[in-house]
Amino acid sequence: MASRNQAGTEIVHHDSLHNTRPEKGEELSPSSPDTEPDIVRDHGTKAWMQVLGAFFVFFNTWGVTDAYGAYQTFYVAGTLFSASSSSISWIGSTQSSILLVLGLITGPLYDMGHFRLLIYTGSFLIIVGQMMLSLCHQYYQVMLAQAVCIGLGAGLVFIPGVTILSEYFDERIELANGLAAAGSGVGGIIYPIMVHKMVVQVGFGWCVRAMGLIMLVTLLVQVVVFRDRPRPTKKSRREVIDWTAFRDPAYVVFILGGIVTSISLNIPNFYVQTYAIQYQITSGEFGFYLLSVITAGSVCGRICLNALAGKIGPFNVLFLSILICGALSFALINLHSMAGMVVIVIIYGFFSGAFISLPPPCFVKLSPRQDQVGTRMGMGYAAMVAGNLVGTPIAGAIQDHRGFHSMWIFAGVMSIGGGVIMFISRGFQGGWQLWRKV
């Protein structure tokens, strides 16, 4: 069965893809010992075990990058090394940017059937980088271990660990992605608290090693539960870039919106703790827990918003959530109330989680065929590196020279701009009627 979206792109329904024999010139992917050609999608223990595995993928990829604000606060204090706020933020932005840009490689490799190679190699690099970080005492060492090595490992596991859900879910893909993406929120709660508490009690090195032990256990869980489905893959060489995607206006505009949104989305995560502590908005040690408060809100948001997306469409929920994040960034200007700060960061965390959990189901809908999902998702995330890499360093430079208030204005303007562009993509994908499910 096939249909066409508003852009005229032919969309082949997933159920037909997964119940056909390989065509001539195609073979089943050898990446998994699982050999059954058919499976009841959206149901079954095996399908939900993939959600568990994807949960720990998010836990050890975006959960780690979401926790960087706690490292930022620690590094700015100068206990480990001396560097400006803007320079320190390059560590976190480089780490998440490497995670995204590797999608150009991991997407096609996943579509070619190299799922387990990516998962094993990436998990190994995450552990190696974490252990090397525990030995660091200089800026360049932290950059190599935390940004480069962990970023490479996270980049190798992320696209395969998320894309595999599209092999097991159709109608409930938004819910499955929401439950999986909650893993990054849980990681973003646990890891910052460990940094704040354990650095004082046992030192930076042993704190990082303890976090590495948690990573090791959870990465082993995902290795055990993942079961990649055999699927038809062409014997011909798979292109790294699907050039046909650039003829789809919905896809192109969606990527542009993702780039603009990526500039702003991590700014509160990186700087809200430092802002609250320097301006004495929060009392006692509570300021050090604001990042965990944000990510606690995002856990609820990624589940609830994805469930809502199953009812009204992921594009609708995504653009509205990004617009709300922009408004909340403006609300941080001249804020002096502790209660107000807590309310804003909880709501911000709730809606910002949509940008982590909803792009994967959007990419599935933006891919005409199942065997293009990994490649198109990888291309999209790689393009977003442009915004993700420079956003927080620019914010740090603004904060160093113009203060926090100018930085929040910058974050708000970019987020609202990203939301507007996402709305345009939504129009190309599903039409301009406001109440249509897209």
pLDDT (tens, 9 = 90+) of the chain, 438 residues, equals 444 444 444 444 444 334 333 444 444 444 444 444 455 565 678 888 989 999 999 999 988 888 887 888 888 888 888 888 878 888 988 998 898 888 888 888 887 888 899 999 999 999 999 999 999 999 999 999 999 999 999 999 988 888 888 888 877 887 888 888 888 888 888 888 888 888 888 999 999 999 999 999 999 998 898 987 765 555 445 567 788 888 899 999 999 999 999 999 888 888 888 888 888 887 767 777 888 888 888 888 888 888 898 889 899 999 999 999 999 999 998 888 888 888 999 999 999 988 888 888 898 888 888 777 878 888 888 888 888 888 888 998 898 888 899 999 999 999 999 999 999 999 998 888 888 887
Residue-level pLDDT at 138:
92
CA–CA separation, 321 and 324 (whole Å):
5
Whether residue 12 is contained in a domain is answered as: no
Report which residue type is found at 254: F
Whether residue 22 is contained in a domain is answered as: no
Residue 331's domain comprises 40-228+240-430
Residue-level pLDDT at 296:
84
The neighbouring-strand residues paired with 4 are 10
> pTM score > 0.75 for this model?
no
Strand spans (E) along 193-304: 232-234
Whether residue 145 is contained in a domain is answered as: yes
**Cβ neighbours around 291 below 10 Å, total:** 30
Question: Cα 437–245–16 angle (5° rounding)?
Answer: 60
What are the angstrom distances between the C-alpha of 287 and each of 127, 189, 199, 275, 294? Answer: 29, 14, 16, 9, 12
Whether residue 438 is contained in a domain is answered as: no
The full length of the chain comes to 438
Please identify which residue in the block is written with the tokens 């109330």: 337
Whether residue 404 is contained in a domain is answered as: yes
Whether residue 265 is contained in a domain is answered as: yes
Structure tokens at 249: 């206006």
Report which residue type is found at 264: S
Structure tokens at 21: 């024999």
Whether residue 374 is contained in a domain is answered as: yes
CA–CA separation, 124 and 144 (whole Å):
16
User: What is the CATH classification number for the domain harbouring 298?
Assistant: 1.20.1250.20
What total number of domains does the chain contain?
Answer: 1
SS3 195: helix
Whether residue 21 is contained in a domain is answered as: no
